A = this chain, B = another copy of it.
Amino acid sequence: MFGLCVAGAYAQTNDLTEQYRSAADRLIDAALADTEGYAKLTYLCDRIGKRLSGSQSLDQAVSWSVEQMKRDGLKNVAALPVKVSHWVRGRESAKIVAPLERPLRMLGLGMSVGTPAEGISAEVVVVSGIEQLAQLSREQVKGKIVLFNAVYKGYGPTVVNRTAGASRAAALGAVAVLVRSITPLAVQLPHTGALTYQEGVPRIPAAAITIEDALLIERLSQNGVPVKVHLEMAAHEEPDADSANVIGEIPGRELPQEVVVLGGHLDSWDVGQGAQDDGSGILASLEAVALIKKLGLQPRRTIRVVFWVNEENGGKGGEAYRQWVGDKLSNQVAAIEMDGGAERPLGFGFGNFGGRRGQTGAAPDADSMATLKQIGKLLERIGAGEITPGGGGSDIGPLTREGVPGLSPRTVAAHYFDWHHTEADTLDKVDLDDFRKNIAGLAVMSYVLADMPGRLR
């Protein structure tokens, strides 16, 4: 009945909790004492560093990742080729030129086009967000630079100004876009991130500026005197580059064709060290699997760790993985993506973004939730056992949209968006003890999901 037995069979009792207590405790103890995971993260951050798709350092990171997985004794280690977008920032700068001159601290948005070599100088129209822009007429926007000065109201609700702002403004005739950095913390730190151009609308350059500078422009604008900004960006796309998803496995002892997949993304933005985003995710995942291996725990099903590539500006790694799985999708028994940083973990979110097997927006399966809560109990001793609806991520999106049960670790998320996509996403932001707890959570969750008699649905 293996592989057919549903989670519900375990919901009424705490079978799983009892059955896996000993293995879980060993994994947690090992994770809490682990030094290898953080050592790997240190190497990735300090020696390889930032690793945007198409960069040499990403190539280096791919080779290094293959080596690490082999050194940890994983099987079927491979770099699965993926063509990735190759966006290059180039030289860039911005300044206020009227009614006074002030430099602006900026970072062009990922995938933005550049300006002409001589730059763009234009008057700024300040809006509080895409909603307010929608109330403006073409006459009010045409030929202008639109500043989206949106107050941070959580990442999801605010980031739409960054992703969609350029095309919304261009549709009204704007020549460029500035976006207030998507963060709650004002410390003169610009936050980059990708935009998405809408088909059929002119592509205009777009850059993030700091909260401070966005507020300055807003204040100057309120005096009735036009504020003019000069923007220069050499950003451009080069032909797609060769890269790879890196995978490694502990083959299952009974059902090796069935796979619990876990991981994060190997690429990062071209600023900082990609420490929390997502060095912490890939290396907590790898270390979780390495510890399972080291403790001699060979699960019933295969556990596969995946370092997806090109998450930040293209999502090609997640798509390529889905294609590589091909018609064996039903063998993907669960997918866990860690891409929210390694702050203190609280538990896991569980859900199916896009709905299960075509049912969009379906609530998580109740029996599966009950099963996960039994597993969660094993993580209560480190405060990481809470199971809540809603989970997933962009790399496992192509799987979960087709019905693969998706999970993601949930943390306190106290500071993640202070550093996200900035020069400040560096190793020091990853606390060793929190990182270890994340390893523990991933190890216990992936091991039990891979070993338990039944499957989530």
Contacts of A426 in B (CB 8 A): 186, 188, 212, 215-216
- Asked if residues B187 and A219 are in contact (CB atoms below 8 Å), the reply is no
**Binary interface encoding of chain A residues 228-253 relative to chain B, with 1 for a CB under 8 A from any of its CBs, else 0:** 00000000000000000000000000
Contact of A428 among B100, B211, B220 (CB under 8 A): B211
Cβ B189 vs Cβ A428 within 8 A: no
How far does the alpha carbon of A427 sit from the alpha carbon of B220 in the complex, in Å? 12
Residue of B nearest to A103 (CB): B423
Closest residue of B by beta carbon distance from A185: B187
Distance, CA A416 to CA B87, complexed state (A): 39
| Residue pair B423, A105 in contact (C-beta under 8 Å) | yes
Knowing A49-B102, A211-B428, A215-B428, the reply to whether A423 touches B188 (Cβ < 8 A) is: yes
The verdict on A422 contacting chain B, using a C-beta distance below 8 Å, is: yes
Residues A219 and B189 in contact, CB atoms below 8 Å apart = no
Whether A418 pairs with B187 at a CB distance below 8 angstroms is yes
Counting CB contacts under 8 A, is A47 at the interface?
A: yes
* In the complex with contacts A46-B216, A46-B219, A424-B188 CB distance below 8 A: yes
CB of A285 within 8 A of chain B?
A: no
Which residues of chain A from 330 to 377 have a CB within 8 Å of any chain B CB?
Answer: none
Task: Report the minimum CB–CB distance from A356 to chain B (whole Å).
Answer: 41
- Does A280 belong to the interface (CB within 8 Å)? no
* Bitwise interface map of A from 173 to 212 toward B, beta carbon under 8 Å scored 1, else 0: 0000000000001111100000000000000000000011
A sample of 12 more A-B contacts (CB under 8 A), given A187-B422, A188-B426, is A42-B219, A46-B219, A49-B102, A185-B187, A186-B426, A186-B428, A186-B429, A187-B187, A187-B418, A189-B189, A212-B424, A215-B426
- Interfacial chain B residues near A272, Cβ < 8 Å: 188
Q: In the complex, how many residues of chain A place their beta carbon closer than 8 angstroms to a beta carbon of chain B? A: 28
- Give which listed residue, B42, B46, B102, B424, contacts A187 with CB less than 8 A: B424
> Closest chain B residue to A271 by CB distance?
B188
- Residue on B nearest A211 in the bound complex, by CB: B428
Q: Given contacts A102-B49, A220-B46, A427-B219, is CB(A189)–CB(B186) below 8 Å?
A: no
Contacts of A423 in B (CB 8 A): 105, 188, 212
A404-434 interface mask toward B, CB cutoff 8 Å, 1 = contact, 0 = none? 0000000000000011001110111100000
| CB pair B428 A212 closer than 8 Å | yes
Complex alpha-carbon distance, A188 and B418, angstroms = 11
A sample of 21 inter-chain contacts (CB < 8 A) reads A42-B219, A46-B216, A46-B220, A186-B429, A187-B189, A187-B419, A187-B424, A188-B189, A188-B422, A188-B423, A188-B424, A188-B426, A189-B189, A212-B424, A212-B426, A215-B426, A215-B427, A215-B428, A216-B426, A216-B427, A219-B427
Q: What CA separation (Å) do A391 and B302 show in the bound complex?
A: 66
Chain B minimum-CB-distance residue to A216? B46
A189 (CB) vs chain B CBs: closest residue: B187
Q: How far is the CA of A46 from the CA of B100 in the complex (A)?
A: 9
Please, what's the 1-or-0 string for A154-182, where 1 marks a CB less than 8 Å from any CB in chain B?
A: 00000000000000000000000000000
A49 CB contacts on chain B under 8 angstroms: 102
Q: Considering only CB atoms, which chain B residue lies closest to A275 in the complex?
A: B212
Task: Report the minimum CB–CB distance from A211 to chain B (whole Å).
Answer: 7
